[in-house]
């Protein structure tokens, strides 16, 4: 079977990439191990995704945004960062941007479903589910994907969007810098009695990191980072005990808190691929850059990779050139590295600083918050990046 592009992975980045290329007039085959039912009705996984205005605009162009009900899109107006027991905070205000909010919050499973529904409307996209890959072969003329059932797919370009633990990346011999923080995070939705005022809060407390992302109404997505055994304990608590534990951990800043969803736990691992490309092969999304969840920013980087690679491919198509030439892929890699590396490094450094319990780190981060809060150019720059 012959196509223009094979995409490995039908997560939201892979599906959005498929729609973007279909809009460019290309034929696309998407390979996914999960069954179609899991893509059509993805289960709630606890994760809320913070979207910038640029990401929202791209999702609108791809026909994904309109597949999410407006009541499930929560505005993120401001952000506050606290350190330990100090009442002081580093504040990011939407008034430091040209927008009415820093961004938006949408549940990950709703984005997944919206992307799937969008793809279903395109006759240029073929989705092969419950399918595994046995081998990937590329040369100067074409790329080839051999499926576990023996079927062979011929394409001009292969794109991997199969998570930060990408098997395709490994198959192509691309190494990655993987950092395991030795901790786990638990995510769930909590109702509370005090309004969140559409403000994201983050506490770097002793032995734990707490985050709160405002959802519609009197609900927030809660993210807690702890040692894995402590996360396991929280996961197993009875609901009433869990409610008391969460209210206490958040120091009742939002009043009494009540569990409003299932609980989910994930290992805390970041990834940055040493290369984003190989011969007729490109990494996008978490397969290229797997961000620390402290920013909830990973999907934005995934959408940036889509935008950058599609732009290069559109330019090649207009000029009648190869959509997988080495020069094209090198340009994509250079641009996407420039787009992601600074924030990845900064986020990684901040996460390490604020997860340290050593006295020098505590003193440094307290001073850093105080200074940063009074440096308006810095705050405007960060707020603009988030927006």
- Domain containing 72 — which CATH number? 3.50.50.60
- For residue 336, which of 326, 346, 348, 344 has the smallest C-alpha distance? 344
Q: Do residues 30 and 127 both lie within one domain?
A: yes
Asked if residue 95 is part of any domain, the answer here is: no
Tell whether the torsion through CA atoms of 138, 142, 147 and 151 is positive or negative: negative
Distance of alpha carbon 142 from alpha carbon 121, whole angstroms? 28
In a domain, 103, yes or no: no
CB distance 236 to 265 below 8 Å: no
Q: Residue 111: which of 175, 64, 160 has the closest Cα?
A: 64
157 within 8 A of 280, measured Cβ to Cβ: yes
Domain count for the chain: 2
Which residues fall within 8 angstroms of residue 94, CB to CB, at 6 or more apart? Answer: 77, 78, 100, 101, 102, 383, 387
Q: What is the pTM of this model?
A: 0.88
Kindly list the distances between the CA atom of residue 349 and the CA atoms of 92, 194, 356, in Å, as whole numbers in the listed order: 19, 33, 11
Does any domain span residue 359? no
Question: Do 238 and 279 lie in a common domain?
Answer: no
Residue 86 in domain: no
Specify whether the CB–CB gap between 151 and 144 falls below 8 A.
no
Mind listing the pLDDT tens digit of every residue in the chain (387 residues)? 899 999 999 999 999 999 999 999 999 999 999 999 999 999 999 999 999 999 999 999 999 999 999 999 999 988 887 766 655 556 666 555 556 778 899 999 999 999 999 999 899 999 999 999 999 999 999 999 999 999 999 999 999 999 999 999 999 999 999 988 888 999 999 999 999 999 988 887 767 888 899 999 999 999 999 999 999 999 999 999 999 999 999 889 899 999 999 999 999 899 999 999 999 999 999 999 998 776 566 899 999 999 999 999 999 999 999 999 999 999 999 999 999 988 888 776 666 555 555 545 454 455 555 544 444 443 444 444 444
Q: Could you give the C-alpha distances from 7 to 56, 135, 187, 283, in angstroms and in order?
A: 22, 14, 29, 10
Q: What are the structure tokens assigned to 240, written together?
A: 């009433």
Does residue 194 sit within a domain? yes
Residue 172 inside a domain? The answer is yes
87 occurs within a structural domain: no
Rg (C-alpha) for the chain, rounded Å, is 21
138 and 165 together in one domain: yes
Q: Are residues 43 and 131 in the same domain?
A: yes
Q: Which two tokens stand for residue 235?
A: 């996961």
Any idea what the Cα angle at residue 45 is, between residues 39 and 49, rounded to 5°?
A: 95
218 lies in the same domain as 202: yes
| Token representation of residue 108 | 């990950």
pLDDT score for 203: 81
- Residue 293 contacts residue 328 (beta carbons within 8 Å): no
CA-to-CA separations, 88 to 80, 206, 373, in angstroms, rounded:
10, 16, 9
Say if residue 11 is in the same domain as residue 121.
Answer: yes
Helix (H) or strand (E) holding 201: strand 199-205
**Which residues 6+ apart lie within 8 Å of 229 measured at CB?**
none
Could you tell me which residues come within 8 angstroms of residue 226 by beta carbon, excluding any fewer than 6 positions away?
Answer: 183, 184, 185, 186, 207, 208, 234
Please name the helix (run of DSSP H) or strand (run of DSSP E) that holds residue 211, with its range, or none: strand 208-214
What integer pLDDT is reported at residue 294 of this predicted model? 62
Residues 48 and 138 both lie in one domain: yes
Residues 155 and 231 in one domain: no
- Domain residues for the domain of 349 are 5-78+108-178+270-354
* Cβ neighbourhood burial of 238 (10 Å; 0-12, 13-18, 19+): exposed
C-alpha to C-alpha distance for 94 and 224, rounded to whole angstroms: 25
3-state secondary structure of 8: strand
| Residues 171 and 39 occupy one common structural domain | yes
Whether 255 and 275 share a structural domain: no
Is residue 304 domain-shared with residue 379, that is, in the same domain? no
233 lies in the same domain as 347:
no
Cα-based angle 52, 55, 56 (whole degrees, multiple of 5): 90
Residue 237 lies in a domain: yes
**What's the CATH code of the domain at 195?**
3.30.9.10
């Amino acid at each position: 079977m012959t196509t223009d592009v094979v995409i490995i992975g039908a997560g939201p980045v892979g599906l959005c990439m498929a729609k973007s290329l279909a809009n460019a007039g290309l034929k696309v085959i998407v390979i996914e191990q999960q069954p179609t039912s899991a893509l059509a009705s993805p289960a709630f996984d606890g994760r809320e995704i913070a979207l910038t205005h640029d990401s929202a605009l791209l999702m609108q162009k791809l026909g994904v945004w309109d597949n999410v009900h407006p009541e499930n899109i929560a505005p993120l107006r401001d952000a506050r960062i606290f350190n330990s027991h100090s009442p002081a905070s580093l504040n990011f205000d939407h008034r430091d941007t040209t927008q009415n909010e820093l961004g938006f919050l949408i549940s990950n499973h709703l984005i997944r479903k919206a992307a799937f529904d969008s793809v279903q409307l395109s006759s240029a996209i073929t989705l092969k589910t419950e399918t595994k890959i046995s081998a990937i072969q590329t040369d100067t003329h074409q790329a080839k994907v051999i499926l576990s059932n023996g079927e062979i797919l011929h394409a001009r370009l292969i794109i991997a969007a199969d998570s930060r633990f990408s098997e395709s990346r490994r198959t192509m011999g691309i190494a990655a810098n993987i950092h395991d923080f030795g901790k786990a995070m638990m995510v769930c939705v909590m109702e509370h009695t005090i309004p969140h005022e559409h403000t994201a809060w983050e506490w770097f407390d002793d032995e734990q990191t707490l985050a709160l992302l405002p959802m519609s109404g009197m609900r927030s997505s809660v993210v807690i980072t702890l040692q894995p055994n402590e996360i396991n304990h929280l996961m197993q608590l009875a609901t009433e005990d869990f409610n008391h534990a969460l209210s206490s951990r958040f120091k009742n800043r939002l009043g009494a808190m009540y569990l409003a969803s299932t609980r989910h736990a994930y290992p805390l691992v970041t990834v940055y691929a040493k290369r984003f490309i190989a011969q007729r092969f490109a990494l996008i999304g978490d397969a290229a850059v797997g961000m620390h969840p402290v920013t909830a920013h990973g999907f934005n980087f995934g959408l940036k990779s889509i935008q950058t690679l599609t732009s290069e491919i559109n330019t090649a198509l207009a000029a009648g050139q190869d959509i997988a030439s080495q020069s094209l892929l090198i340009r994509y890699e250079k641009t996407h590295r420039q787009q992601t590396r600074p924030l990845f490094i900064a986020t990684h450094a901040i996460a390490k600083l604020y997860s340290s319990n050593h006295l020098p780190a505590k003193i440094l981060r307290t001073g850093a918050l105080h200074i940063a809060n009074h440096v308006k150019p810095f705050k405007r720059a960060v707020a603009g990046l988030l927006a």
